[in-house]
Structure 1
Amino acid sequence: MKKVIHIIGTRPNFIKAAPVIKSLNNSYNIENIVLHTGQHYDYNMSGTFFKDLGISQPDINLGLGGGTHATQTANIMIGCERVFSEVRPDMVIVYGDVNSCVAATIVASKMHLEDNEIDKILVIHIESGLRSNDRSMPEELNRIVTDSLSDYLFVTCEDAIDNLVKEGIPKEKYFFVGNPMIDSLVEFEDKFDTSDVLNEYDLKIKEYALITLHRPFTVDDKSRLMEMMDSLVEVSEDIKCIFPIHPRTRNALVKIDLYNFYKSRILMTEPLGYIDFMCLQKNAKFVITDSGGVQEESSYFNVPCLTMRDNTERPITINDGTNELIGTDYMKILKRIKSINYNKKTNIKLWDGRSSDRIVKILKEKLNDR
């Protein structure tokens, strides 16, 4: 029996991995093993998602969240090395661009070089080729390293192929399969309509804005954080806003003793489960974010998305989706909101809910070749 380990560590990983795990579970002679690094360790950021996505709790949980990038990556590498030595997987699948992804990739790529009794582990990267061309972002470094070491790369959009070609990745190593994150949206869309979250927070369809902001650039600098929050307060005076607040953002506001001040002016909630959060996205008038995944999800829902960043690794959501890059001059948010094009519709190739089937078909071929 072939052994496949899925490496997950953060909410976006869970969403991308769920349809692939389910599809592989239906495959004969494959043992699926789910390893959660613990990179997101808050229950609202992790535990509730497995239930919402209809997948079992992880087989292994390293519980290694927290710490600096170096500490976290090193600890995950040590934990993965121990697990890989014990399990001896044929294949390791990593998702996205987080520290868990690059740490597992490095370990799986090198183990056979140190131990002659361990066969080469096939490393699969799902969501390859995305580039912001901004190496000040830790995720960009993770993407580049992971793609350079992976044996097979699965891309979500055609511009990602262009990036891999520029970096010299051989054509036989990459596959255009679409976006498994969209598979989850297609599978659970009916459930989004059953969520009671709109009633819970007294929200009306297309009469509120959804806010989700958490990146270090956005929230770790006090003056920038305050300028952003002040601008969001102005937005909330024109339209009701709901802000499910990421632990990093909450902690940054607590640190400067302004969490309660802003909470009294904007509707803030704890992080929400997958079904509730997608219900909010689907029914929002527009979204303000600095997240990568939200750019994709809002495009699927045909909901305008204002991305508060100077660059994006997902330009497909701008060119063929409903995303707009508005930069980091927070004082201009209101002006950008007033110029939103609500008639723009998404047309992105292979975002059809069948990406995981295409992925698993190729994975089975590669496993059978071993």
Structure 2
Amino acid sequence: MSTQSTPTNVVIVLGTRPEIIKFAPVIRECIDREVPFTLVHTGQHYSPDLDEVFFDQLELPAPDVHLGVGSDSHGKQTAAMLEGVEEVLFDVEPDVVLVQGDTNSTLAGALAAAKLNIEVGHIEAGLRSFDREMPEETNRVVVDHIADYLFTPTSETREYLEREGLSDRIFVTGNTVVDAAHQYADVAAEKSTVLDELGLEPGEFYLLTAHRAENVDQLDRFSSLLDGVAQFADETGWDVVYPIHPRAQNRIDAFDLEVPDAIRLVEPLDFLDFLRLESTAALAFTDSGGVQEETCILGTPCVTLRYTTERPETVYVGANCLAGLDPVDIVDAGRQMLGKRPDWDVPFGDGRAAERILDLLTAPTSPTAGTIPAETPQ
């Protein structure tokens, strides 16, 4: 870890909507503190309408640079991002590059900076599913091992990194998703009209998200997932709302897959509408790591349609259940979680993660690696 402190120029690299959400508190904190930053959007997930709405609803400035990379194979996509981010870094010459999570944008941003000897801060460091079939797992591990600042959300993620010999750069800050949920949940309740538009009553519907390649790219897995969720919905009498991810919609079309009647496909939603559905659903079924976190924070029981999770804390506190993809197991998990009281302790911090991250980056002297503020969640 180098001795750089008090950065005068920060580059923030993001490329997906979850990254926009989780970076929002950090960007706002930079603005409040007048820390200069350059916002780079790789375009890994890009829809002109939805991206623009996300930045608008979160009251964020438009990206300074948009690479417009779009979808492609992992190698081609990451290579294009690496080249584009490197050009920005040559031009801006930042003190530190911030990346978040485990996407190809995260990997490209971190690699570009590390190759130029620019410090890297990894927000949401230390997550591990221990499933190397997930491309995101490779991204997490690589970025953690080249980053200078590892901003971990929990004590468990800190322990994973300590086992990998990275103790000299770990800072437990909490997760910025808690900051975002705290900042925007009330706004969503006030401004979103999605329940009326979809004819939904709070607590009388289920929410489904499924988009991971390992689930939707294989007909048998995708069909099994949908059948299990639909069987549970038929058993309980409430419909499932599924904001369909473009990747999943493409697979449904390609497979000519018949979606069960109990599952209602709707167009992708903006941030406030989705947050409103998450907070008012009776139960969420998901293969998304971010949704596991958000529902835990919002008090909505969750069933994860995977066999592993990089958010095990949600399971430990009782907010989440790993069901896998077998319909019988999905129904059993739904029965287990439906009606569960949201009296669990949120393990991801107190909503001040962005504040802690900026405290560390702008300290007058380089922070001692491993130092954790007394009020930081343990």
Q: TM-score range by the shorter chain?
A: over 0.9
Output the CA distance in 2 between the equivalents of 1:321 and 1:358.
Answer: 27
Code of the residue aligned with 2:53 in structure 1: it is: T
Question: Is the contact made by 1:158 and 1:176 (CA closer than 8 Å) also made in structure 2?
Answer: yes
Match among 358, 361, 369 for residue 360 of structure 1: 358
Output the CA distance in 2 between the equivalents of 1:204 and 1:367.
Answer: 53
Relative distance call for 1:323 and 1:350 in structure 2 (3 A) is closer
Output the CA distance in 2 between the equivalents of 1:314 and 1:242.
Answer: 23
The 5-angstrom pairing of residues 72-83 of structure 1 reads: 72-83=77-88
Code of the residue aligned with 1:2 in structure 2: it is: T
TM-score of the two chains, using structure 1 as the length reference: 0.92
Question: Is the contact made by 1:13 and 1:95 (CA closer than 8 Å) also made in structure 2?
Answer: yes
Map Cα deviations across residues 48-103 of structure 1 (whole Å, 9 max, x no partner): 21112110111100000111000000000010111111111111000000000011
1:16 is aligned to 22
Output the CA distance in 1 between the equivalents of 2:364 and 2:222.
Answer: 47
1:345 is aligned to 343
Question: Is the contact made by 1:2 and 1:367 (CA closer than 8 Å) also made in structure 2?
Answer: no
Question: Is the contact made by 1:290 and 1:308 (CA closer than 8 Å) also made in structure 2?
Answer: yes
Relative distance call for 1:339 and 1:349 in structure 2 (3 A) is closer
Output the CA distance in 1 between the equivalents of 2:74 and 2:363.
Answer: 35
Match among 37, 44, 53 for residue 48 of structure 1: 53
Output the CA distance in 2 between the equivalents of 1:142 and 1:34.
Answer: 21
Output the CA distance in 2 between the equivalents of 1:219 and 1:109.
Answer: 34
- 1:69 and 2:74 equivalent? yes
Match among 214, 217, 220 for residue 220 of structure 1: 217
Answer with 193-202 or 45-54: which moved more.
45-54
Output the CA distance in 2 between the equivalents of 1:96 and 1:68.
Answer: 19
Relative distance call for 1:83 and 1:366 in structure 2 (3 A) is farther
Match among 102, 107, 112 for residue 107 of structure 1: 112
The ranges of structure 1 where at least 4 consecutive aligned residues each deviate by more than 6 angstroms after the TM superposition are: 366-369
Relative distance call for 1:304 and 1:265 in structure 2 (3 A) is closer
2:372 is aligned to none
CA shift for structure 1 position 292: 0.3
Question: Is the contact made by 1:44 and 1:271 (CA closer than 8 Å) also made in structure 2?
Answer: no
- 1:309 and 2:315 equivalent? no
TM-score of the two chains, using structure 2 as the length reference: 0.90
- Cα RMSD of the aligned pairs, angstroms, is 1.7
Question: Is the contact made by 1:20 and 1:357 (CA closer than 8 Å) also made in structure 2?
Answer: yes
2:96 is aligned to 91
Relative distance call for 1:186 and 1:153 in structure 2 (3 A) is same
- 1:236 and 2:233 equivalent? yes
Question: Is the contact made by 1:208 and 1:239 (CA closer than 8 Å) also made in structure 2?
Answer: yes
1:284 is aligned to 281
Higher relative contact order (CA 8 A, sep 6+): 2
Relative distance call for 1:303 and 1:163 in structure 2 (3 A) is same
Code of the residue aligned with 2:287 in structure 1: it is: D
Match among 264, 269, 272 for residue 269 of structure 2: 272
- 1:186 and 2:172 equivalent? no
CA shift for structure 1 position 43: 3.4
- Structure 1 residue runs of 5 or longer lacking an equivalent are 112-119
2:32 is aligned to 26
Question: Is the contact made by 2:8 and 2:94 (CA closer than 8 Å) also made in structure 1?
Answer: yes
> Percent identity at matched positions?
38
Paired residues in the alignment total 357
Output the CA distance in 1 between the equivalents of 2:21 and 2:265.
Answer: 23
Match among 35, 42, 61 for residue 37 of structure 1: 42
1:210 is aligned to 207
Question: Is the contact made by 2:125 and 2:151 (CA closer than 8 Å) also made in structure 1?
Answer: yes
